[in-house]
Amino acid sequence: MRKGGKTMRIILKGVLILFVVAMTLASMRVQQTMAADTTFAYDKSPNFTLTLPSWDKSPNTKNPDSVVRLAADPLEVTTLDAGVSVLLQEKPFFKYMPKYVIAFLRRNYDATGLQILYERDIKLSDGTPAYECEIKWNHPAVLLYTYYVHAFKDKKVVTIAVTSDEQIQDTLKKYPLSLKFK
């Protein structure tokens, strides 16, 4: 009987340690999202600014066109990515974005079960036509949601994406929507 009691104490200590680690990570995620936003300026063509959350910069990206990658948490569950790439075909630009995004996620992140939740043409606050979409997809380990804003300028595509393990709320959408061309 004493062995059983000792085993139970060891299990309870392990559970307590896991709980403390989980709460610490959750606390870090909340604290980082509450910190002050910053402005990022891209000074190459096309020149633009973007409001960024003050999350940690993360060099771990699979996108060669990436200019910014931030992670809100150490496990990189919630991320923001900004990229600039050459547009291969001008017309109809927005029509092909969902297919491009789905192929990119499959190729670079082993995504499965991809589902476009919505897609539409929008205008950025500076009047620039843009395209937004939200995609639900499975990474091998977790269900994810990615919200994209794509804009075309100077024969290039600027793509801002926010990914999270929850459907993307306005508090995160504000970052891609802050894109402004100079």
Largest CA distance in the chain: 76
Report the 3 state secondary structure along 167-178: CCCHHHHHHHHC
Q: Are residues 82 and 143 in the same domain?
A: yes
Q: Where in the sequence is the domain holding 24, given as residue range(s)?
A: 1-34
What pLDDT digit, counting tens, does each position of 140-182 carry? 889 999 999 999 998 899 999 999 999 999 999 999 999 999 8
**3-state DSSP assignment of residue 83:** strand
What pLDDT digit, counting tens, does each position of 53-68 carry? 988 766 566 667 888 8
Full-model pTM:
0.76
pLDDT for residue 143 = 96
Q: What is the CATH number of the domain that holds 84?
A: 3.40.1000.10
At 109, the pLDDT band (50, 70, 90 cuts) reads: confident
Q: Structural domain tally of the chain?
A: 2
pLDDT for residue 87 = 77
